[in-house]
């Protein structure tokens, strides 16, 4: 049993999880299968929709069919030859307050029926609870997780160690830290469903990160009850590897139509904004006239297609090194999702630490929201902690050019030609560029990834200009130049960098000179 990372971007990864029934690829959605009310047969979930794994509720099976899945084999009972995960009945505890089984009984039952991935009977925290109640759920879940190690028998099942605590982040962190000490190959974040139903994605970000930052980073993380495609990208970027949900079917019962950017009602649609195999051959009017069961099945199948399609888009974005751009685009689908996206600034140091240092492609910078990107923080840290400028008395700060690398552009060469000859002597002066979104780019580092491997939208927004000005100011203050010469491009920087340089030089007591030279574009 193993989990192997193939590709990375932000905290996301394309991974391979080896289970008893085969290897599955992450990020992965487990559609919930209820064998008693299933709209889309499990075999079709794999053959037509491409889902490599499903999840079913072991507690419901135990109550309704007893040992039949054990006699028939769980996979044959469900009619699914891929990986099968089972939940333990914890959701029923959240809804009904209790279940008619014990932690030991449900573990034994999951072992008997042959689950590939199984879950201990944890105690979900829920949403409208006090901190004292939340603490009890954390303590009881940890107690059961430790007891489980003593009565498990099979070693070919991947067991899930759930993390609880709900909206109380200190408890989520404590739960994750203690659960991470136990030998679970997979962890799961419990109690997010009510948070998502209330569109509190900002709280969800905090919950995921409280867990992720305190669990072993190499272990996959499952986000229980997350099944809407419009939030997959954000959750994957934060390090969630698995999802499960019955939303595809539950939404269909309510005539709700999923998209990558939100949910629509069938009655609101004149056109299907989708080219999945279902929508391509029909219209909203035609579907509305179908018998109720057929309409429900149509919507469930569409919802499955859009979920699978979004996961494929996310995987390609990870492989291309463009997951940030994809998350940023999806975040604009709803104000609450965009508000959650802003929360990434709070965790940018952890993300930067675990994100890949280089990628196969450059980055697209649109506006100041991109200042949270790990590449920008990484450059700032390297300039502060690892970069030593040459021993030059004068630094020339010149603006970015449209061509990259900057020092090879005709604009820059023309600029150098206009400077006094003594300033063109490389032994006496050091040349740096001030550029969005990175700040200061020393000429000798101009071609280092990603300083020349990016595209930036012009004109720059005020926050980006202010950020670059701040980085220039910090650079002047922390270096040992005796004089700063700024080539000021007023059209792009609106004198903001000029003023920051002047203040920094005055504070440090060194010479300052500005050259009002309008650089051409090349």
pLDDT per residue as tens digits for the range 220-232 = 999 998 989 999 9
Inter-residue contact 27 to 62 (CB < 8 Å): no
Inter-residue contact 335 to 197 (CB < 8 Å): no
Residues 339 and 376 in one domain: no
Residues 435 and 314 in one domain: no
> Given a cut of 90, is residue 340 above it in pLDDT?
yes
pLDDT at position 521 is 35
Q: Which CATH number do you get for residue 49?
A: 3.20.20.105
Which residue is listed with tokens 């979930």? 45
Name the more confident of 375 and 96: 375
Conformation bin of residue 513: beta by default, left when phi > 0, alpha when psi is -120 to 50: beta
330: helix, coil or strand? helix
| Interval 291-312: pLDDT, tens | 999 999 999 999 999 999 999 9
Residues 370 and 333 in one domain: no
- Domain range for residue 425? 363-515
Dist CA 503 CA 499 (whole Å): 6
**Considering its fold, how many domains does the chain have in total?**
2
| Interval 132-154: pLDDT, tens | 999 999 999 999 999 998 989 99
Residue 287, class by beta-carbon neighbours within 10 Å (0-12 exposed, 13-18 middle, 19+ buried)?
Answer: buried
Q: Could you say which of 281, 315, 347 is where a domain stops?
A: 347
Residues 110 and 232 in one domain: yes
- Please indicate, yes or no, if residue 95 is contained in any of the structural domains: yes
Active site residue 87: yes
Residues 196 and 84 in one domain: yes
pLDDT band at 424 (very low <50, low <70, confident <90, very high): low
Residues 205 and 310 in one domain: yes
Q: Could you say which of 347, 375, 398 is where a domain stops?
A: 347
Residues 338 and 371 in one domain: no
Q: Which CATH number do you get for residue 378?
A: 3.40.50.10630
Dist CA 311 CA 301 (whole Å): 16
pLDDT band at 522 (very low <50, low <70, confident <90, very high): very low
Compute the average pLDDT of residues 448-461: 94
Which among 9, 72, 87, 461 is annotated as catalytic? 87
Compute the average pLDDT of residues 16-25: 96
| Interval 360-376: pLDDT, tens | 889 999 999 999 999 99
């Amino acid at each position: 049993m193993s989990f192997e990372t193939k590709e990375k971007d932000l905290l996301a990864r394309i991974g391979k999880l080896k289970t008893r029934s085969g290897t599955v690829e992450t990020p992965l959605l487990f559609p919930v299968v209820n064998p008693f009310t299933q709209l889309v047969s499990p075999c079709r979930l794999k053959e037509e929709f491409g889902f490599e794994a499903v999840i079913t509720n072991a507690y419901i099976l135990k109550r309704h069919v007893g040992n039949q899945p054990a006699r028939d084999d769980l996979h044959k009972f469900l009619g699914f030859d891929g990986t099968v995960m089972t939940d333990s009945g914890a959701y029923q505890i959240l809804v009904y307050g209790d279940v008619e089984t014990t932690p030991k009984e449900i573990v034994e039952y999951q072992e008997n029926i042959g689950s590939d991935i199984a879950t201990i009977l944890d105690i979900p925290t829920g949403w409208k609870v006090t901190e004292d109640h939340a603490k009890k759920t954390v303590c009881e879940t940890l107690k059961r997780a430790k007891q489980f190690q003593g009565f498990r028998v099979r070693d070919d099942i991947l067991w899930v160690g759930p993390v609880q605590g709900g909206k109380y982040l200190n408890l989520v962190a404590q739960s994750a830290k203690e659960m991470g000490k136990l030998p679970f190959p997979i962890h799961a974040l419990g109690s997010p469903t009510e948070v998502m139903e209330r569109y509190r994605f900002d709280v969800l970000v905090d919950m995921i990160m409280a867990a992720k930052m305190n669990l072993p980073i190499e272990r996959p993380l499952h986000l229980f009850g997350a099944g809407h495609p419009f939030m997959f990208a954000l959750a994957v970027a934060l390090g969630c590897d698995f999802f499960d949900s019955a939303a595809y079917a539950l939404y269909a019962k309510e005539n709700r139509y999923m998209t990558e950017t939100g949910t629509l009602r069938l009655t609101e649609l004149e056109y299907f904004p989708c080219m999945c195999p279902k929508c391509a051959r029909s219209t909203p009017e035609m579907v509305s006239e179908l018998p109720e069961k057929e309409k429900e099945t149509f919507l469930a199948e569409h919802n499955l297609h859009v979920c699978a399609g979004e996961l494929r888009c996310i995987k390609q974005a990870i492989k291309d090194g463009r997951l940030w751009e994809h998350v940023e685009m999806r975040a604009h689908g709803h104000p609450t999702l965009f508000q959650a996206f802003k929360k990434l600034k709070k965790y940018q140091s952890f993300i930067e630490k675990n994100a890949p240092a280089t990628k196969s492609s450059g980055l697209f910078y649109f506006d100041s929201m991109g200042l949270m990107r790990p590449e920008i923080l990484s450059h700032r840290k390297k300039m502060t902690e690892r970069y030593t400028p040459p021993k030059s008395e004068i630094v020339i700060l010149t603006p970015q050019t449209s061509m990259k690398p900057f020092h090879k552009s005709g604009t820059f060469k023309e600029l150098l030609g206009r400077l006094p000859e003594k300033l063109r002597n490389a032994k006496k002066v050091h040349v740096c560029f001030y550029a969005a979104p990175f700040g200061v780019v020393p000429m000798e580092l101009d071609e280092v990834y990603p300083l020349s491997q990016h595209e930036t939208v012009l004109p720059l927004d005020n926050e980006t200009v202010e950020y670059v000005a701040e980085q220039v100011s910090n650079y002047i203050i922390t270096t040992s130049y005796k004089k700063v010469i700024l080539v000021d491009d007023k059209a792009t920087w609106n004198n903001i960098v000029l003023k920051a340089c002047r203040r920094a030089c005055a504070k440090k007591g060194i010479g300052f000179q500005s050259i009002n030279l309008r650089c051409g574009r090349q």
